[in-house]
């Protein structure tokens, strides 16, 4: 009943917005959007938002996708961060589009219906923002990507109106040749050219992808590291100077689904997005063995906390049912394991620093854990090292920096060895620093200052 009421209310709201747009009721629409804007100040949300107060005001669109970046920005004394979720800008443009594939409209044939509707959406947004910016003082607009239709017209029109669009690009871990080539190809074939003033990325490899795709020119892209890593580096430094103290040991699996893209995809008809046209036959067996090993270790070591850390989107995906099925079919009832839990909201940086044993796969947490000086297990069971999909593994050239488990039994052996011998050699530590610098572009912990200076130069 609740879902039906919610759906009915949503339809009424959508119709109301459409009427307001067709009737060009800009004042009402501006008020509606303003009511959905909050301020992030020193990491906390504030509503209503403050006056500019001689700070550079950043309006962050699609705020849920930034992870810790907006929090980091909000701590700069000369930056005022306003933000809103993706829904409000989406309300304003959805009446003009039949789907949310921005590539379809960017590449629409001239004077086609798609092309005409795309221009109508731009014209509407131009009139709307011309009024909006009279009431909300904004120095620049930011997003984290170029792929979302809800952000596109707001970003482009803002830039055209003299409110620079600066992309704080976040998908910068292009650690395999296949993924790099795929990203470059998609940018070039589907997304045209950059419609803003500047792009800030984490590393040189990512910058090169924008140049190779001709999506942006070299002077439009700056490398400044990852904002959220400043606090992580600070935590590591603090942890190193703390005196040893007894605390409960923790194991963390940075969860990956059984159908992770590393293990392959099948092409869909008329769909060009998948990277592969085959699925590794042992992917489910690897997943099952890994989780059974973790559950068995949780039973064996009741004084150690075992944490499964998925992203929120993973829990909402249908592949999560496979995880639940594996757990339910285990010989051990996890409800009787108080030291085993799933924690979607776990603070990643803090948990890495405080962990005893870490396991991860195709994730930036591998690099973070490595820099934090943690021994980390890569679960490459069932001869994955000899599979054709290993060529797409991010860390295939860096295996010496980690503990590689080739089966369930070896995973358990490595787990126990790490508990007793947690330290790594100086040589490995030095190589891990190089790895971190390669992908996060900054080991000094001063990315916030770099971002501020770039934003200041663009907006003034």
Sheet of 403-405, strands arranged across: 340-342, 305-309, 250-254, 357-359, 376-379, 403-405
> So what's the pLDDT on residue 207?
97
Is-contact 26 97, C-beta < 8 A? no
Phi/psi region, residue 54 (left: phi>0; alpha: psi -120 to 50; beta: rest), is left
Neighbouring C-alpha atoms within 13 Å toward the C-beta of 419: 15
Going by their DSSP bridges, the two strands 376-379 and 221-223 should be labelled as unpaired
User: Please, is 412 exposed, middle or buried when counting C-beta atoms within 10 Å of its C-beta (0-12, 13-18, 19+)?
Assistant: middle
Round to whole Å and give the CA distance between 458 and 165.
9
Is-contact 228 72, C-beta < 8 A? yes
Question: If we measure between CA atoms, which residue out of 142, 163, 149, 159 comes closest to residue 196?
Answer: 159
Q: How many residues would you count in the chain?
A: 460
Round to whole Å and give the CA distance between 209 and 203.
10
Question: If we measure between CA atoms, which residue out of 357, 349, 352 comes closest to residue 415?
Answer: 357
Round to whole Å and give the CA distance between 169 and 144.
5
> So what's the pLDDT on residue 238?
86
> So what's the pLDDT on residue 67?
84
Is-contact 263 284, C-beta < 8 A? no
Q: Which residues pair with 379 in a beta bridge?
A: 405
Domains of the chain with CATH codes = 2-226+445-459 (3.40.50), 239-440 (3.40.50.2000)
Contacts 24+ apart (CB under 8 A), 12-21: 14/91, 14/94, 17/91, 17/92, 17/95, 18/95, 21/92, 21/95, 21/124
> So what's the pLDDT on residue 254?
98
- CB neighbour list of residue 158: distance below 8 Å, 6 or more residues apart: 129, 133, 138, 141, 164, 165
pLDDT per residue of the chain (460 residues) written in tens, 0 to 9: 656 656 667 788 889 999 999 889 999 999 999 999 999 999 999 999 998 889 999 999 999 999 889 999 999 999 999 999 999 999 999 999 999 899 999 999 999 999 999 999 999 999 999 999 999 999 999 999 999 999 999 999 999 999 999 999 999 999 999 889 989 999 999 999 999 999 999 999 999 999 999 999 999 999 999 999 999 999 998 876 554 444 689 999 999 999 998 998 776 544 444 445 688 999 999 999 999 999 999 999 999 999 999 999 999 999 999 999 999 999 899 999 999 999 999 999 999 999 999 999 999 999 999 999 999 999 999 999 999 999 999 999 999 999 999 999 999 999 999 999 999 999 999 999 999 999 998 899 999 999 999 999 999 8
- CB neighbour list of residue 198: distance below 8 Å, 6 or more residues apart: 164, 166, 167, 220, 221, 222, 454, 458
Round to whole Å and give the CA distance between 404 and 418.
12
Q: What pTM was estimated for this model as a whole?
A: 0.90
Question: If we measure between CA atoms, which residue out of 401, 410, 415, 424 comes closest to residue 306?
Answer: 415
Residue 111 neighbours by CB distance under 10 Å:
9
Q: Residues 62-83, buried b or exposed e (16+ Cβ, 10 A)?
A: bbebbebbbbbbbbbeebbbbb
Cis before residue 331, ω within 30 degrees of 0? no
Round to whole Å and give the CA distance between 238 and 193.
43
């Amino acid at each position: 009943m609740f879902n039906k009421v919610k759906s009915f209310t949503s339809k009424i709201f959508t119709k109301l917005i459409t009427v307001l747009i067709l009737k060009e009721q800009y004042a009402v629409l501006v008020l509606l959007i303003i009511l959905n804007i909050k301020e992030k100040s020193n990491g906390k949300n504030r509503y209503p938002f403050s006056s500019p107060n001689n700070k550079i005001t950043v309006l962050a669109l699609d705020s849920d996708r930034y992870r810790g970046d907006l929090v980091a920005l909000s701590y700069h004394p000369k930056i005022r961060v306003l933000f809103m979720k993706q829904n409000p800008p989406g309300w304003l443009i959805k009446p003009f589009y039949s789907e949310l594939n921005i590539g379809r409209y960017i590449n629409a044939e001239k004077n086609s219906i798609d092309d005409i509707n795309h221009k109508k959406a731009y014209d509407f947004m131009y009139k709307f923002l011309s009024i909006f910016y009279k009431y909300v003082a904004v120095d620049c607009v930011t997003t984290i990507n170029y792929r979302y239709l809800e952000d596109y017209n707001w970003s482009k029109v803002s830039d055209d109106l003299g409110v620079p669009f600066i992309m704080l690009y976040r998908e910068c871990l292009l650690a395999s040749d296949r993924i790099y080539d795929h990203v470059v190809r998609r940018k070039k074939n589907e997304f045209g050219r950059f419609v803003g003033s500047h792009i800030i990325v984490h590393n040189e490899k990512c910058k090169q992808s924008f140049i190779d795709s001709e999506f942006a020119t070299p002077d439009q892209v700056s490398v400044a590291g990852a904002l959220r890593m400043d606090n992580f580096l600070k935590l590591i430094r603090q942890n190193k100077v703390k005196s040893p103290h007894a605390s409960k040991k923790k194991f963390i699996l940075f969860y990956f689904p059984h159908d992770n893209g590393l293990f392959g995809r099948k092409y869909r008809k008329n769909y060009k997005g998948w990277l592969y046209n085959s699925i590794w036959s042992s992917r489910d067996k690897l997943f099952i063995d890994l989780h059974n090993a973790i559950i068995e270790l949780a039973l064996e070591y009741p004084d150690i906390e075992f944490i499964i850390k998925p992203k929120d989107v993973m829990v909402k995906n249908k592949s999560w049912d496979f995880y639940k099925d594996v757990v339910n079919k285990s010989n051990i009832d996890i409800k009787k394991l108080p030291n085993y839990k799933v924690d979607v909201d776990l603070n990643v940086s803090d948990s890495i620093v405080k962990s005893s044993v870490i396991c991860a796969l195709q994730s930036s947490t591998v690099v973070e854990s490595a820099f934090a000086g943690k021994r980390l297990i890569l679960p490459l069971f069932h001869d994955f090292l000899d599979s054709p999909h290993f060529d797409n593994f991010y860390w295939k050239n860096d295996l010496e920096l980690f503990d590689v488990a080739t089966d369930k039994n070896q995973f358990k052996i490595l787990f126990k060895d790490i508990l007793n011998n947690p330290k790594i050699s100086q040589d490995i530590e030095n190589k891990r620093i190089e790895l971190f610098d390669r992908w996060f572009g900054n080991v000094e912990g001063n990315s916030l200052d770099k971002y501020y200076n770039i934003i200041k130069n663009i907006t003034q």
